[in-house]
Amino acid sequence: MYIHHAMQELTLDPDNWTDLRTLGHRMLDDMFEFLETVRERPVWQSVPASVRERLAAPLPVAPSCAAATYDEFKELILPYPTGNIHPRFWGWVMGTGSPVAMLADMLASGMNSHVAGYDQSASLVEDQVLRWLAELLGYPSTTSGILTSSGTAANLIGLAVARNIAAGHDVRARGLQHDGAPLIVYGSTETHSWAQKAVELLGIGSDSLRKVAVDANFEMRLDDLRDAIAADRANGLHPLCVIGTAGTVNTGATDDLRAIAKICDDERMWFHIDGAFGALARLAPKHRAIADGIELADSIAFDLHKWMYMPFEAGCALIRDAAAHRAAFALTPSYLTALERGIAAKPLEFAARGIDLSRNFKALKIWFSLKVHGSDLFGQLIDQNIDQAAYLRERIESEPSLELMAPVPLNVVCFRYHASDAINQEIVLRLQESGAAVPSSTMIGGRFAIRVAITNHRSRRSDFDFFIDEVLRHAGELEESR
Amino acid sequence: MYIHHAMQELTLDPDNWTDLRTLGHRMLDDMFEFLETVRERPVWQSVPASVRERLAAPLPVAPSCAAATYDEFKELILPYPTGNIHPRFWGWVMGTGSPVAMLADMLASGMNSHVAGYDQSASLVEDQVLRWLAELLGYPSTTSGILTSSGTAANLIGLAVARNIAAGHDVRARGLQHDGAPLIVYGSTETHSWAQKAVELLGIGSDSLRKVAVDANFEMRLDDLRDAIAADRANGLHPLCVIGTAGTVNTGATDDLRAIAKICDDERMWFHIDGAFGALARLAPKHRAIADGIELADSIAFDLHKWMYMPFEAGCALIRDAAAHRAAFALTPSYLTALERGIAAKPLEFAARGIDLSRNFKALKIWFSLKVHGSDLFGQLIDQNIDQAAYLRERIESEPSLELMAPVPLNVVCFRYHASDAINQEIVLRLQESGAAVPSSTMIGGRFAIRVAITNHRSRRSDFDFFIDEVLRHAGELEESR
């Protein structure tokens, strides 16, 4: 009895490891089944009211059987995912995830590494993965980087380094609460909304974000950019940074990155690229020229959970000047001081490159995926998605009742049926509600557009044929019922 | 042959699902074994040079066998975790993770939900979990909240709402680049370094972060706080926000939260609480009075990956005024416009409460854990950790060669051996290097302290006995070798 006394202390570990392990195996089988059969299910379905009600249940104060909780998960949660795991999900820009990455996420959660730095495997793996990614995008091996939660977070880090380092005064200490010339950031009217969030968060303010007009290809007008910079300088303002976009969210346009790099060089400004998905076109052997100049930025943000199909979250920021990156964020309070040896012998290098101190092992799924699949396959899959977009464009161009709304330089196709905005919106809703496909929508030139963004390794050419058939079927039904 | 043509298209899904599934089952068995036997292994070990070298291997362009990659993982990565899964890891403040949460993380990765909002189960689960957490901390059901990557990110969100809403002018548009009175933020000298990072990021600047002195219990001196606010007002500055801390990182002290709430009320200032781990003392039936006043803040940040033992990442921000929370962050560009029905019928509520647009399903592990274990068990485990800290304090007080360096109001114990800083540092390093235990260190009153922070559901009282024995053994050896 005495010997068991210590065992009476409480823990979250199971009394019976075998039972929980058996349940874990059941979960794993179910998830494999779930992924293998995803094509047979609707892309998406609305959460029914009865499920909503049950997901509003009060706080569970007492324990429940793990198997019963899992049954509830299978009934209330698993059937209602976002849908982006399905081959016909092309809404917004979301990656698909993969079975290999799911297994890696389980391993990462079990290890539960705290990746602020430290002498541990996870930090070495993150550094290795960052080197691989820098190489894939054509950045030098001395480039610094960090994995982040999201594209917004990665872009924010790039812009924060620009503000803290390129502003020319001690922004970390003095903030922007002083009499210096206001900092101005430049993007295009097609720049993603992260830029507004970032300048707001950084205290720059959205009034100081210039949205430069775009040309017919939705690329930033460079004359307008030069004029805006000159006008701001003439007004005593401080042009800080130009944001170039590789793959705009609306139409997949890529700015002339080489030209912007030259302008930033001439103007002694920071060049940041938002390459959320478009940067990864650099990996695609057939289409890599689309991302020409991607290697020229001072900082670049992109998302492995978009066009490298990783499960969320896996954003990435790369900063060319490693010292500038560190100087923008590093702190060393006494409880985080590095010692000569031991676990803290390695500095908190990742905490010194971004916002978070507590960080999980995001790198493991990327490490596993690049090793198991090889980087070449990712490039081929990106080529395949770009080819699928071109195929969809051809299908649309050959249908007299459909109208292409924008050029298709990458993986985004915007089009509409030759009827009112309301009918086009109804087509999108019926496609989603029927579970046939999930496109999203946007406004282009003030008109409603059905928008297909292809960052999906499960999509096949036949899925786009089916999609066009369904668009036309719903359109026909809507015309008849008018 | 024709019927298989479509199958020739590339995908990350396996050709052979059975093989990968079998490997997955092997991984699951290995991880259960890894967790069940964690007590038998060293807490931590340095990554050997040979492993470092292999983790610097070049980019894999060609595919590899998944099983071989897994073997590499088992050889190079799994043996070298941070160590926080082990019962004798008490360094910094890191949670332990749990087998149930690991399984939930696998399910979340397989579902790969994009939790910006949308009509889907994951958003309902996150809302449910946030309601549960608000209730546990005594906040009204109308409280808004969001799960975040880290405590820094959660605290940053609280401070950003304060800045954007309480500043009294349109900070989102105008930034801090104008002639208004500079905003000032107040914490104590014991406030965690996140506060510096946050004021720097927000453009407030670290010069505008006042670090108010603490008393002998390491709690903020309220007279000094009042004086600092009055002095700043007299100088034409704008006192914005007071940061109260529940559980300081150095010694586990909790500021007088009720008194700070009163001061903020009098001064019409925002009250933010950093409750990274200390807020969760509210759950502990025996010790909940420690977190008295925790329910009075305008915003509060805490980490489920600390004292609720969740695997990383699971930070949380709660904002009392839901409209203020939304007003601080919401954006609606055209490609994110909500439609009447379909997947986007629900607004992007989570994207409108923080930094990230792409967000993973962090809520699932919390949902599973609260249901399987019940919230009562978490409270009991927190009580157990606080009792363990008290027990360790008693052991230290009864050893003439050991000196307590600070009061022990919570779960942090700072002490030293009666010898030089160098010897105390060497004790910490030998404890870590021998794999016996991982305390971290800090400086208190200019002197080196061995620091034990207990947020570990695997620790037993006997582990602390073993720890003291090892401290004294290493101390003795070091004294002898002098």
Per-residue pLDDT tens digits for A28-45: 999 999 999 999 999 999
pLDDT reported for residue B334: 67
Q: How far is A398 from chain B (nearest CA, A)?
A: 22
Largest CA distance in chain A: 85
Taking CB atoms and an 8 Å cutoff, what residues of chain B touch A32?
17, 20-21, 24
* CB proximity B414 to A under 8 Å: no
Residue in chain A closest to B159 (alpha carbons) equals A201
> Same structural domain for residues A360 and A450?
no
pLDDT tens for residues B279-332? 999 999 999 999 999 999 999 999 999 999 999 999 999 999 999 999 999 987
DSSP for A147-172? EESSHHHHHHHHHHHHHHHHTSS-HH
Residues in chain B with CB shorter than 8 Å from the CB of A81 are 111-113, 120-122
Q: Give B284→chain A minimum CA distance, Å.
A: 13
Kindly tell me the number of DSSP H helices and DSSP E strands found in chain A. 16, 12
Higher pLDDT, A481 or A59: A59
Residue among B350, B310, B260 nearest B151 (CA):
B310
Using the beta-carbon criterion (under 8 Å), do A103 and B206 form an inter-chain contact?
no
Assess contact for A90 and A456: CB atoms under 8 A. Answer: yes
Q: For residue A148, what are the β-bridge partners?
A: A315
Interface test with B, best of A77, A463, A465 (most B CBs within 10 A): A77
- Residue A241: its H or E element: strand A238-245
B17-36 and B99-111 helices, crossing angle to 10°: 150
Structural domain includes residue B70: no
Indicate whether B6 pLDDT > 70: no
- Tell which of A330, A346, A372 closes a domain: A372
Cα–Cα–Cα angle for A258, A263, A266, rounded to 5 degrees: 125
Residue B413 sits in a domain whose CATH number is 3.90.1150.170
| Among chain B residues, CA nearest to A249 | B335
The answer, yes or no, to whether residue B346 has pLDDT greater than 80, is no
| End-to-end Cα, chain A, rounded Å | 81
For residue B136, which of B298, B324, B376 has the smallest C-alpha distance?
B376
- Are B107 and A374 an interchain contact pair (Cβ–Cβ within 8 Å)? no
> Measured between CB atoms, does B196 come within 8 Å of chain A?
yes
**Cross-chain residue pair A12–B100, CB shorter than 8 Å:** yes
Same domain (yes/no): A194, A173: yes
Is residue A287 within 8 Å of A126, Cβ to Cβ? no
Tokens at residue B293, please? 């006043």
* Same domain (yes/no): B155, B216: yes
Residue that is last in its domain, among A354, A372, A390: A372
* Helices and strands (H and E) in chain B: how many: 16, 12
Q: How far is A101 from chain B (nearest CA, A)?
A: 8
The answer to whether residues A113 and A327 touch, using CB atoms and an 8 Å cutoff, is no
Residues B417, B291 share a domain: no
Sort out which chain B residues have CB atoms less than 8 A from A76's CB and list them.
Answer: 121
Report the predicted TM-score, pTM, of the whole model to 2 decimal places: 0.97
Distance, C-alpha A460 to centroid of its chain: 22
Contacts of B312 in chain A (CB under 8 A): 112-115, 358-361
Interface of B with A in 311-330 (CB under 8 A): 311-313, 315, 329
CA B259 to chain A, closest CA, distance in angstroms equals 27
B66 occurs within a structural domain = no
pLDDT, mean of residues B384-410? 98
Chain segment A366-411, per-residue pLDDT in tens: 999 999 999 999 999 999 999 999 999 999 999 999 999 999 999 9
Q: Does the structure show a pLDDT above 60 at A3? A: no
The answer to whether the Cβ–Cβ distance between A176 and B174 falls below 8 Å is: no
Arithmetic mean of pLDDT over chain A:
95
**Contact residues for B96 (Cβ-Cβ < 8 A; gap 6+):** A12, A112, B84, B85, B89, B309, B455, B456, B457, B458
Which chain A positions have a beta carbon within 8 Å of B365's beta carbon? 109
Q: What percent of chain B has pLDDT over 90?
A: 92
Residues B299 and B279 in one domain: yes
In the numeric block, the tokens 């974000």 are attached to A209
Contact A356 B29 (CB under 8 A): no
Between CA A133 and CA A148 the distance in angstroms is 14
Arithmetic mean of pLDDT, A181-192: 97
Report whether B376 contacts A61 (CB < 8 A): yes
Are the C-beta atoms of residues A80 and B1 closer than 8 Å to each other?
no
DSSP code at position A74: I
DSSP strands (E only) in B65-203: 89-90, 144-148, 183-188
- Whether residues A204 and A164 fall in one domain: yes
Do the domain assignments include residue A272?
yes
In-domain check, residue A252: yes
> What tokens appear for B431 in the block?
């404890």
Encoded tokens for B427: 């004790």
CA distance B453 to B23: 37
Per the prediction, chain B carries an average pLDDT of: 95
Contact A87, A42 (CB under 8 A): no
pLDDT of A46 reads 96
| Residues of chain B contacting residue A202, judged by C-beta atoms under 8 Å apart | 175, 201-203
Of the partner residues B14, B107, B204, the one whose CB lies closest to the CB of residue A203: B204
Q: Is A193 on the interface with B (CB under 8 A)?
A: yes
Could you tell me if A71 lies within 8 Å of chain B, comparing CB atoms? no
Q: Report whether the peptide linkage leading into residue A313 is cis, meaning its omega lies within 30 degrees of zero.
A: yes
pLDDT exceeds 50 at position A161: yes
Is B415 in contact with B444 (CB distance < 8 Å)? no
What's the pLDDT at A7? Answer: 47
User: In A210-321, where does DSSP find H-type helix?
Assistant: 222-234, 257-267, 304-307
Mean predicted confidence (pLDDT) in B200-213: 98
pLDDT of B347 > 70? The answer is yes
Question: How many CB pairs (< 8 A) connect A and B?
Answer: 582
Q: How confident is the model at residue B1 (pLDDT cuts 50, 70, 90)?
A: very low
Residue A2 has pLDDT above 80, yes or no: no
A residues 85-104 closer than 8 Å to B (CB): 85, 91-92, 94-103
Residue A470 within a domain: yes
- When divided into structural domains, chain A yields a total of 2
**Which string of b and e fits A300-314 if b means at least 16 CB within 10 Å?**
bbbbbbbbbbbbbbb
How crowded is residue B462: how many other Cβ atoms within 10 Å of its Cβ? Answer: 12
Q: At what angle do helices A99-111 and B17-36 cross, to 10 degrees?
A: 0
| Claim to verify: residue B140 and residue B193 sit in the same structural domain | yes
On the question of pLDDT at A191 being above 50, the answer is yes
> What's the confidence (pLDDT) of residue B331?
87
pLDDT at B335: 64
CATH number, domain of B186, equals 3.40.640.10
B120 and B234 co-located in one domain: yes
What average pLDDT does this structure show over B62-78? Answer: 98
A28–B25 C-beta distance less than 8 A:
yes
Q: 3-state class of B304 per DSSP?
A: helix
* Residue-wise burial string across B81-93, b where 16 or more C-beta atoms lie within 10 A, e elsewhere: bbbbbbbbbbbbb
Query: What is the ipTM for the molecules in this complex?
Result: 0.97
Domain for residue A336, yes or no? yes
Nearest 5°: phi and psi at B34? -60, -45
The token pair that represents A40 in the structure block: 């047979």
> Could you tell me if B325 and B391 lie in one domain?
no
B423 near A CB under 8 A:
no
Copy the structure tokens of residue A399.
């249908």
How far is Cα B324 from Cα B352, in angstroms, rounded to an integer?
11
Give the pLDDT mean for B432-446.
96
Q: What is the pLDDT of residues A216-272, one digit of tens each?
A: 999 999 999 999 999 999 999 999 999 999 999 999 999 999 999 999 999 999 999
- Residue of chain A nearest B442, judged by CA positions: A335
Asked if B143 and B164 sit in the same domain, the reply is yes
My answer on whether B125 and B162 are in the same domain is yes
CA distance A155 to A315: 9
**Predicted confidence band at B59 (pLDDT cuts at 50, 70, 90)?**
very high
Q: What is the mean pLDDT of residues A433-443?
A: 96
Measure Cα distances from B145 to A152, A344, A472, B161, B283 in Å.
Answer: 19, 33, 42, 12, 18
User: Which are the contacts of A53, defined by CB distance < 8 A and separation ≥ 6?
Assistant: none
Q: Is residue A203 part of a domain?
A: yes
Whether residue B302 is found in the same domain as residue B420: no
Across the interface, of B55, B99, B429, the residue whose CB is closest to A339 is B429
Q: Return the pLDDT at B336.
A: 66
Q: Give percent of chain A above pLDDT 70.
A: 97
CB B461 within 8 A of CB A373: no
Q: Note whether B274 and B326 are within 8 A (CB).
A: no
What's the confidence (pLDDT) of residue A335?
64
On the CB side of B273, CA atoms within 13 Å amount to 34
Residue at which a domain ends, from B345, B373, B401: B373
- Listing DSSP states for B26-71 in one string gives HHHHHHHHHHHTGGGS-S--PPPHHHHHHTTPPP--S---HHHHHH
Name the residue range of residue A430's domain.
Answer: 376-480
- DSSP secondary structure of A201-218: HTTS-GGGEEEE-B-TTS
Q: Is residue B50 part of a domain?
A: no
- Contact residues for B227 (Cβ-Cβ < 8 A; gap 6+): none
Residue A346 pLDDT grade (very low, low, confident, very high; cuts 50, 70, 90): confident
| Degrees, nearest 5: CA angle B449-B453-B459 | 130
Q: Residue A361 corresponds to which tokens in the numbers above?
A: 């092992």
Kindly state whether A277 is in contact with chain B, defined as any CB-CB distance less than 8 angstroms. no
pLDDT of residue B4: 41
